[in-house]
Amino acid sequence: MAAEKVNILIVEDESIVALDLASGLERDGYHITGIADNANEAQQLFSENEVDIILMDVNIIGDKDGIDAATEILKQKPVPIIYLTAFTDAATIERIKQTHPAAFLSKPYSLTNVRIAIDLAVNNFAVAREQQQTGKIIQLDKSTSRNTASPEREMILRMNDHIFVKSNYAFVKVKLDELLYVEADNNYTAIVTGEKKFLLRLSLSQLLDKINYKPLVRIHRSYAVNINALQSFNDQEVEINQQQLPIGRNYKEDFLRNFDFR
């Protein structure tokens, strides 16, 4: 599949709270990988399933609390963690800080606040990972650093071999190698896969800069294509997914450099 739901693991010892949270997030379009009420179960679910984000309560069942569970989980693989807790004393906050959480919510919280926290968590984690890999200091857009949700805000984030595209309330994962082409139309740019099209209010240049995917090559002022998905091409156009897209005169030379002609 070209688009996938973002997988969330919920670690919460109050079953009613956990089920209510899971139900709300599933309505938004997220997939709940599992619900755990103790550290051992949380680690097992994380090991056996694909998890993109963890919602972690600090006070859980057993000898280990949520901070202990997060510490062990992060030894397996980096993942954004959002803490949910009623404990805001200095000692707890200091321990939480040692695990470098993506976001923090004090109880009681609302589903709207969880949505905002997920936005911030995915954004901050993606930015931090890119800074680690490239050494560049990346400035956050003002729109992505606000603490309020806005339907006008466009979000697209690169994380490893996926991009995360904001669709309604939820992020959708798209594998980069399943992206076919992008098409600009005035102030909007469409991301086209074999199954879906995502329309974002970004220029083509902005989108290409955010994705930063080498096989995605610009061939025209309005088009960029995944050269690994090409079916054929000539001097005037390329064919991809049975669509003919024009090659602009100013982009032809750069496009042809991607091929080794002998």
Side chain identity, residue 136: K
Q: What is the pLDDT of residue 78?
A: 87
d(CA 62, CA 72): 15
**CA-to-CA distance for 42 and 66, rounded, in angstroms?**
9
Is the pTM here over 0.85, yes or no?
no
What is the Cα–Cα distance from 163 to 156, expressed in whole angstroms?
7
Domain ranges in the chain are 3-132, 176-256
Cβ(208)–Cβ(224) below 8 Å: yes
Instruction: Give the C-alpha separation, 180 to 134, whole Å.
Output: 26
Q: What local confidence, expressed as pLDDT, does residue 124 receive?
A: 73
Please report, in tens digits, the pLDDT of each residue of the chain (262 residues total): 456 788 999 999 999 999 999 999 999 889 999 999 999 999 999 999 999 999 999 999 999 999 999 999 999 988 999 999 887 788 889 999 999 888 888 888 888 889 888 888 877 776 666 655 544 433 334 333 333 333 334 567 777 788 888 777 778 888 899 999 999 988 889 999 988 888 888 899 988 988 889 999 999 999 999 999 999 999 899 999 899 999 999 999 999 888 876 5
Q: Two tokens at 252?
A: 């032809």
What pLDDT does residue 115 have? 87
CA dist list (Å): 238 to 183, 221, 224, 247: 14, 14, 11, 7
- Start-to-end CA distance of the chain, whole Å, equals 36
Q: Which of these, 170, 144, 176, lies nearest to 158 by C-alpha position?
A: 176
Q: What is the pLDDT of residue 142?
A: 39
Superfamily of domain 176-256: LytTr DNA-binding domain (2.40.50.1020)
Quote the pLDDT of residue 138.
35
Provide the b/e sequence for 127-154 (b: ≥16 CB within 10 Å): bebbeeeeeeeeeeeeebeeeeeeeeeb
Q: What is the CA radius of gyration of the chain?
A: 21
Question: Top-level CATH class of 3-132?
Answer: alpha beta
Q: What pairing do the DSSP bridges indicate for beta strands 103-106 and 156-159?
A: unpaired
The two tokens of residue 23 are 């139900």
Is the link from the previous residue into 108 a cis peptide, with omega within 30 of 0?
yes
